[in-house]
Structures are given as C-alpha cells and as structure tokens.
Amino acid sequence: RRKLIIDTDCGSDDAMAIAMALNDPRYEILMFSTVSGNVHVDQAITNTLTTIEHAGTYEPPVYVGCESMLLRPLVYAHETHGDDGMGDLGLRPSRLRPAPGNGVLRMLEELRSHEPGEIDVVALGPLTNLAVAIRLDPQAMARIGRLTVMGSAGLGRGNVTPVAEFNVWQDAEAARIVLEFGFEHLTFVGWDACLGESMLDPDDIRRLRESGPLGRFAIDCNRVLMAMNVERFGDEYLDMADPAAMAAALHPECIAECDRYHCQIDVSDGPSYGSMLVDVNRFDGQPANAAVCSRLHADRYKRYLFATLGAGEWR
C-alpha cells in the first residue's frame, strides 16, 4: 500500500475527503497533521477524530499543527461549514484522542524514516504546516513523493475574493513557500475542479444519505453549506473541494484537465492578495513549477467517491 500523510483544517468537506481516503485499500494513512483554517486547530483535531470514528476502518494518529498563520490573521469559515466546521450537529469523538507530539515534527520524522518518494502528502487546508516544515527541514520535505494541494482558483474564479481561493488566501505567504520550494511532483487542485458537473447534485446527495451511516455522516456534516447552496443554486448541491482534491491525488483516473504551468502566489497587499497566477499563455517564459488540475471526469470522480463512502461499486 502506498503511504500517505494528510494535512487538514478539518471542516465538513475535509471530513468527506478523509473518509474517502480511509476507505481506499490502496493507501495507508500514516498520520494526520492539523492546522487552523476552516476552524481553530483544536476543533480541526476533534473533527478529524470524529471522522475517523465514523469511517470505522483503521485509526491513524492525529497530531496538532500550527494554530496561527505565518503572518496574517485567521479568518475562519464558519458561515460555510458551521461554528464547529461540521454543520453544528454536536459531533464529538467518543473514544479517540489526539496523539501526543507536534504534527509538523512528526511529519518530518515520518519522511526521514522512509525512503525518498515513499510517502505522498495531501494538503486540504492552509499551507502553514508545510511551510514551517520546509523551513525546519528542507531535506526531509524533499523526500515527499507526490504533494497534492487543494488550493487556488485553478484556471477559474476565486471563492473568497474574485481571484483567490480560501486555502491559498488564508496563508498566502505559506503557500508561496510551498510553491517555490521546488517539489518535483506538486499539484494544485483548483477550486474549479469541484464545480460544474463535479458538484454533488440532489440525486447524488440522496444516494449517499440513504446508503448507510458513513454516507449519511458525510452529507449531514455539510448541512450548513448545503443550506447556503440552496440559496445560491436553487437546490441542494454540494461543491466539495477537498474530496475533488483527494480523488485527484489517490485516483488520478478522475483527472480530466491537468497541466504544468509557471505559477506565482501574490502576497502583495492589493486586490489580488492570496491568488495564484497561472501563466496559461506562457507569457513570462519561466519554467513550469506546478501542475494545476482544473477539471475532473465527473462520472469517474463520483464513482470513486460513492465507492469509498460505501454507496456503490468501484468499477
């Protein structure tokens, strides 16, 4: 099984993505590191542990990571995911507790104690932990196999400003450190990858909800977002950014559009702060430094999502 580390600011779409990964038998999650973002890092730990209990598979350790962003103030996403990030259903882990130790340091230890390229990392929140890890031990970080980030607007529009997406915007300095580190296999799955046909529609939502306890959990914890979306889209739809990124990372057959570009992250104080500029037309003549995934094959993606959430067959 391929080894995986998941870094998360666990809100309700992270929860769905984590449940998918725990149910993919081709991967072994070594650990979770948590970070503030959708919610405070302590709440992110609670939500990750709750999700692991609901997934009912195996129980990787969950470590605390960075509480604060590198420079910027924290702006939680309570209006999207609820005050607790999980739809305010009062969910708590009944048994599991956080693992002792620090997530950034543990990630570096795992990377050092495995062969280069053996561990993949999927980042579902602001990139603070990864940036700190890079500054602490760049050699260890260079041992990551594939790094997949849910971050940026991809080739489309932002979700917190006209051009910026939450995870990059929330700690753009950290995102810039990650982008400029020089990872060999770095993919940003853009916000656009979870839109259009990749949104869960009312039928998909019904199917998941009726499939069993895990499907129901994955949908119900997204109820604040779903209510918001009824106003935005006129019906129950779910734009699930982290599940899209997880599918692109673990099941690349889902990827419909992904190309390498020269990218830059804007950390200047202006209207495009926190955006990732993707040089699609290759104006700047710089070599590509990241892959940007901007679209998934909705049918393959949904098949994978249903299967890993216990609501269907894989193939």
Q: Which residues bind Ca ion (CB under 5 A)?
A: 9, 14, 124-125, 242
Q: How far is the CB of 126 from Ca ion (least distance, A)?
A: 8
Q: How far is the CB of 167 from Ca ion (least distance, A)?
A: 6
Q: How far is the CB of 55 from ligand BDR (least distance, A)?
A: 17
Contacts of residue 252, Cβ cutoff 8 Å, sequence gap at least 6: none
Q: How far is the CB of 129 from Ca ion (least distance, A)?
A: 13
Residue number with CB closer to Ca ion (21 or 124): 124
Cα separation, 38 vs 81, whole angstroms: 7
Q: Give the three-state DSSP class for 3.
A: strand
Q: Which phi and psi angles does 209 have, rounded to 5°? A: -65, -35
Q: How far is the CB of 81 from Ca ion (least distance, A)?
A: 9
Residue number with CB closer to ligand BDR (125 or 145): 125
Q: How far is the CB of 11 from Ca ion (least distance, A)?
A: 5
The option from Ca ion, ligand BDR, none interacting with 80 (CB < 5 to 8 A, set by class) reads ligand BDR
List, edge to edge, every strand of the sheet that includes 255-261. Answer: 62-63, 27-34, 2-8, 119-123, 144-150, 186-189, 290-296, 255-261
Q: CA dihedral defined by 50, 251, 104, 292, rounded to 10 degrees? A: -120
Please answer whether residues 167 and 149 qualify as being in contact, where contact means their C-beta atoms are separated by less than 8 angstroms. yes
The option from Ca ion, ligand BDR, none interacting with 191 (CB < 5 to 8 A, set by class) reads ligand BDR
Q: How far is the CB of 295 from ligand BDR (least distance, A)?
A: 16
Q: How far is the CB of 112 from ligand BDR (least distance, A)?
A: 27
The option from ligand BDR, Ca ion, none interacting with 254 (CB < 5 to 8 A, set by class) reads none
Tokens 């570009």 -> residue: 261
Residue number with CB closer to ligand BDR (19 or 140): 19
Residue number with CB closer to ligand BDR (241 or 263): 241
Residue 10 tokens read as: 């666990």
Residue number with CB closer to ligand BDR (29 or 140): 29
The option from Ca ion, ligand BDR, none interacting with 181 (CB < 5 to 8 A, set by class) reads none
Q: Strand pairing partners for 54?
A: none
The option from Ca ion, ligand BDR, none interacting with 204 (CB < 5 to 8 A, set by class) reads none
In the chain the beta strands, taken as DSSP E runs, fall at: 2-8, 27-34, 62-63, 119-123, 144-150, 186-189, 255-261, 263-265, 276-278, 290-296
Contacts of residue 55, Cβ cutoff 8 Å, sequence gap at least 6: 18, 19, 22, 23, 214
Residue number with CB closer to ligand BDR (45 or 241): 241
Cα separation, 72 vs 70, whole angstroms: 6
Residue number with CB closer to ligand BDR (140 or 249): 249
The option from Ca ion, ligand BDR, none interacting with 166 (CB < 5 to 8 A, set by class) reads ligand BDR
Interface residues toward ligand BDR, by CB under 6 A: 11, 13-14, 38, 77, 80, 124-125, 150, 159, 165-167, 191, 241-242
Cα separation, 110 vs 179, whole angstroms: 22
Residue number with CB closer to Ca ion (241 or 296): 241
CA 82, distance to chain mean position in Å, is 18
